Each structure stands twice: as C-alpha cells, then as structure tokens.
Structure 1
C-alpha cells in the first residue's frame, strides 16, 4: 500500500526507485500501483518524474 501523504509518497517512491526499480513503470508493475495516480499526486506538490535520473524532482 502506498502512503497517502504526498510528501511520504515522494520519499517512498524515490527510495524504491533508487534501491529496487529501474523505472517508474517497473515500480508500478512491481507494486501493482497506478502510475497516473502517483504522477498526479506528486505533481500536485510540484514534482515530476525524470526518467533519465529515475526519480521525482
């Protein structure tokens, strides 16, 4: 289950991307998570996914 709080979600997702997954798509598949939901929730607090760096900035 993904954190509800967007700041906690940011930390959780970036940690998982750094340590376990080579892309946001792989993370979503591995965690059975909705990619657009993550992108939208983090976008609401000013973050976007950078595929080259494999993290939300």
Structure 2
C-alpha cells in the first residue's frame, strides 16, 4: 500500500527511488504499481519525474 496524500507519496516514492531502484519503471514493476497513477497524483502538487535525477522534482 502506498500513501494516498500527494506530499507523503512524494517523500515515499523519492526515498524508494533513491535507496532501492534505478528508475521509476523498475519501482512500479517491483511494487506492482501503475506509473501513470503515481505521476498523475504527484503532478497535482507540481512534481514531475526526472529520468536524469531518478526522482520527482
């Protein structure tokens, strides 16, 4: 289960990406999550995934 609140989700996802995954697709595959759902929710608070930095900025 992932956090529903976008601000908490941002912290959760960026921590997972930093500590365990080389990219967002690997994280989503491993955790059985929909990439679009995460991207859509985080875009509500102005964040977009950066491939280069492997984090939402």
TM-score after normalising by structure 1: 0.98
CA distance in 2, matches of 1:15, 1:28: 14
Q: Which residue of structure 2 lines up, in the alignment, with residue 27 of structure 1?
A: 27
**In structure 1, C-alpha distance between the alignment counterparts of 2:30 and 2:52, rounded to whole Å:** 20
What are structure 2's unaligned runs of at least 5 residues? none
Structure 1 unmatched ranges of 5 or more: none
2:4 is matched with 4
2:26 corresponds to 1:43: no
Runs of 4+ in 1 over 2 A off after TM superposition: none
CA distance in 1, matches of 2:44, 2:4: 13
- What CA deviation, in whole Å up to 9, does each residue of 1:2-43 have, x standing for no partner? 100000000000000000000000000011001000000000
